[in-house]
Amino acid sequence: MTDEAAPGEAGTRELRARRLDETDPLPTLRAEFLIPPAPGGPYEEAAYFAGNSLGLQPKATAARLAEELTDWSRLGVEGHTQARRPWVSYHELLTEPAARLVGALPHEVVAMNSLTVNLHLLMASFYRPSGERTRIVIEDSAFPSDSYAVASQAVHHGLDPAETVVRLRPRPGEDNLRTEDVVDYLRREGNRVALLMLGGVNYLTGQLMDMATITRAGRAAGAVVGWDLAHAAGNVPLSLHDWDVDFAAWCTYKYLNSGPGAVAGAFVHERHVRDTTLPRLSGWWSTRADIRFRMDPEVAHPPTADAWALSNPPIMALAPVLVSLEIFDRVGMTALRAKSERLTAYLAERLAPIGGVRVITPDDPAQRGTQLSLRVADAGGLVKALADEAGVIADAREPDVVRLAPVPLYCTFHDCHRAAEALAKLT
């Protein structure tokens, strides 16, 4: 518990936060988003720190959806070719901005399905256990969906997940994996690793992995390297093509603000998209667009990531993703990353003197994204109190982690001030 501040100190801290907002090189885009009302406390709007779980709605989204509904109402089936954004090729509108977002070439990315569906489709192609090379390596604190997915892939190949899935753990007493320990494991055991698939940013701790170094080590060991970018896409700059990543997948409802359960994305390196020997699970949308409506009985895969798509995409679900990608194109990941570092540095500074709170996210800005994870005594109770008493929306990962994500598109230094003040009073 911190000592009670003198009456003027809180005002001075608030004034500093306001000035940081006024003078920041990247003014907030908060006005372009719908901010929820504060559940409690003295402010009308919430200080929203849960964008690493579900991003806020851009105001432009409703109008874009209305356009698609209007085209459907006036055109019916002809909207596939005559809508203002023809539906039959709608997903192609997302290709180039998605490629820019993740550092890929346009023919290496596709918007489709949901994150775990995409991981399964990609593992169907790239997890090919053979001989002693059967292991799948993930981090011990991987999101449960990844754990379930890789275990089921092992079972699908007739293998025992307990022997096949390797979960890399931090050193005793530490919260985060060290890059050198991942590399050392691959150096020692790489001949047994068929697939290395880590989270680019760990959902629990907020640690940003050194994806370039780890990818290089994994490929040198002869393993396929895939990345779950659920907490990395729209959060940190990515260079999937240049890093020589084999495959990756990401969701779009967190930092990409595309709505609950929004259509996800996938990346396949160009050295694979033209490889006709790769096994793939196929559907109508897996075949070349120029001959799709010939209704041929045999698939003809295009030399792009579209070859991993299965079905015609849901237009009403793609429209919010396109709106989001347009925002990211306009602002740019370089500027967003710089502001993210300023916001998290300020928040970390404010949290440092608070008793009962321990930040488990790495101190080094190069090893974290837009998230600070706090180890506390009662995560669920604290998150409820933050909302009810201060209008600060965070999330809990039981039993003892509270996550705060000052998303640079709509979070402010003043939001960070509100969170720190509330935590000081509640812990």
Show me where the domains of the chain are located: 7-52+332-426, 65-329
Q: Is the separation of the CB atoms in 135 and 146 below 8 Å?
A: no
For 65-329, CATH gives 3.40.640.10
What pLDDT does residue 3 have?
44
What pLDDT does residue 143 have?
96
Q: Is the separation of the CB atoms in 421 and 390 below 8 Å?
A: yes
- Is 143 assigned to a binding site? yes
What pLDDT does residue 7 have?
54
What pLDDT does residue 379 have?
97
- Is 145 assigned to a binding site? yes
Q: Residue 195's closest CA among 292, 130, 279?
A: 130
- Is 146 assigned to a binding site? yes
Contacts of 205 (CB under 8 A, 6+ apart): 141, 175, 176, 360, 361, 362, 373
- Is 250 assigned to a binding site? no
Helix H or strand E segment including 58: strand 57-58
| Domain spanning 7-52+332-426, CATH architecture | Alpha-Beta Complex (3.90)
- Is 242 assigned to a binding site? no
Q: What is the pLDDT along the chain (427 residues), one digit of tens a residue?
A: 344 444 588 899 999 999 999 999 999 999 999 999 999 999 999 999 999 999 999 999 999 999 999 999 999 999 999 999 999 999 999 999 999 999 999 999 999 999 999 999 999 999 999 999 999 999 999 999 999 999 999 999 999 999 999 999 999 999 999 999 999 999 999 999 999 999 999 999 999 999 999 999 999 999 999 999 999 999 999 999 999 999 999 999 999 999 999 999 999 999 999 998 899 999 999 999 999 999 999 999 999 999 999 999 999 999 999 999 999 999 999 999 999 999 999 999 999 999 999 999 999 999 999 999 999 999 999 999 999 999 999 999 999 999 999 999 999 999 999 999 999 999 9
What pLDDT does residue 276 have?
86
Distance (Å) of CA 208 to CA 204, 231, 235, 335:
11, 9, 10, 18
- Is 144 assigned to a binding site? yes
Q: What CA–CA distance (Å, rounded) separates 351 from 358?
A: 9
